[in-house]
Amino acid sequence: MRLINHIIILAAACICSMPAIAQTWLPDSLGADFQMRYVTQPSDRFGAERCTIMRDTATTAGSKRGILYIHGFNDYFFQKEMAEKFVSQGYNFYAVDLRRYGRSIIPGQRPFDVRSLDEYFPDIDSALTVMQHTGLTDITLMGHSTGGLIATYYMLKHPDAPVRQMILNSPFLDWNLGRIEWLVPVVSAIGAVFPEMKISQGDGTVYGQSLDSLFHGEWNYNRAWKMHRSPDVTAGWVRAIDRAQRFIDSHQMEIRIPVLLMCSTASYYGDDWTEDAQYRDAVLDVNDIVRIGTRLGRHVTLVRVEGGMHDLFLSSRPVRTALYRYVFKWLSNH
């Protein structure tokens, strides 16, 4: 009888620790074809947590193919055109706003902060579970920038996840700090003791100006969720990123699924906006992406995009039109 009681208590504890996935889809701000729903996650050191799953409902009937998109840092899912492009090719498009990002921010939270990228795994698991419950069996995981880092880290730690292939859009696989990059291990070590210590990311707004329709770009988005000036981070956040990057570097060639690795042909290093910023990666060193990304697994396809911005799918229309054509061809071959 005591054993049965222990089993009941253990089962109850497991149930309580599972995310509570809301059953009702709500209209999303992106338009009539888009829905969202919150997933309440177990509380962590930051308090109450949730993630948000979005989907484009204009899907192809009977299709088993799905895309799960993970956004980057200082970001959230707003790429309506991208979702519509994939849906037009017969893919069921899903995206997740990770905890403390975008739609998932709970009043009083400090956006974007994290102590380990493992904290995002339940958010990804929840989205994959929802996709599987709708009958999707051919799922592609796609991540941009920090989302590309998270996706890579996730697949290394979850090699049996229900993901058939992965697309990395300018993944954040290494820092791009020039002469002060040697400070990263120092800050990471400090982050173990003083995780709340704030670290400035500078005052640069070049990338934001390149995207925003109010300046030189063509995109509209929530500027409170995606800021022009990247906000201060914490030493704990630096440690989380650094440890994930080091883990990836120590597990070279271990991702088993096909990977499409994408980045621009050049980086932009100016402090002020010029027209070149519209046609280069103004955030990361593209050579680092190539150097590390091509060692992720034995089935990595590298494509360098002439004229591509940091988020390649937000590049100029001719660039992204050609890129979509390439991506869909790659997917059809895998």
What pLDDT is recorded for position 17? 44
- Distances in whole angstroms, Cα of residue 10 to Cα of each of 19, 21, 41, 43: 16, 21, 19, 19
Residue type, 258: P
The interaxial angle of helices 235-249 and 184-193, nearest 10 deg, is: 120
Residue 124 to residue 66: CA distance in whole angstroms: 14
What pLDDT is recorded for position 334? 87
Residue 170 to residue 290: CA distance in whole angstroms: 9
Which residues of the chain register pLDDT less than 70? 1-23
Q: Which residues contact 68 (CB under 8 A, 6 or more apart)?
A: 94, 95, 96, 124, 127, 128, 131, 139, 140, 141, 142, 163
Do residues 256 and 163 touch, judged by C-beta distance below 8 A? no
Nearest of 56, 54, 124, 120 to residue 90 by alpha carbon: 56
pLDDT in tens, 242-270: 999 999 999 999 999 999 999 999 999 99
Q: What is the CA radius of gyration of the chain?
A: 20
Backbone angles phi, psi at 315, to 5 degrees: -70, 180
175 - beta bridge partners? none
Nearest of 167, 162, 165, 164 to residue 148 by alpha carbon: 167
What pLDDT is recorded for position 20? 57
- Three-state SS at 178: helix
Residue 281 to residue 138: CA distance in whole angstroms: 31
Nearest of 92, 63, 111 to residue 224 by alpha carbon: 111
What pLDDT is recorded for position 62? 84
Do residues 242 and 115 touch, judged by C-beta distance below 8 A? no
What pLDDT is recorded for position 11? 41
H helices, E strands: number in the chain: 9, 12
Label residues 274-297 b or e (16+ Cβ within 10 Å = b): eeebbbbbbbbbbebbeebbebbb
Residue 199 to residue 329: CA distance in whole angstroms: 42
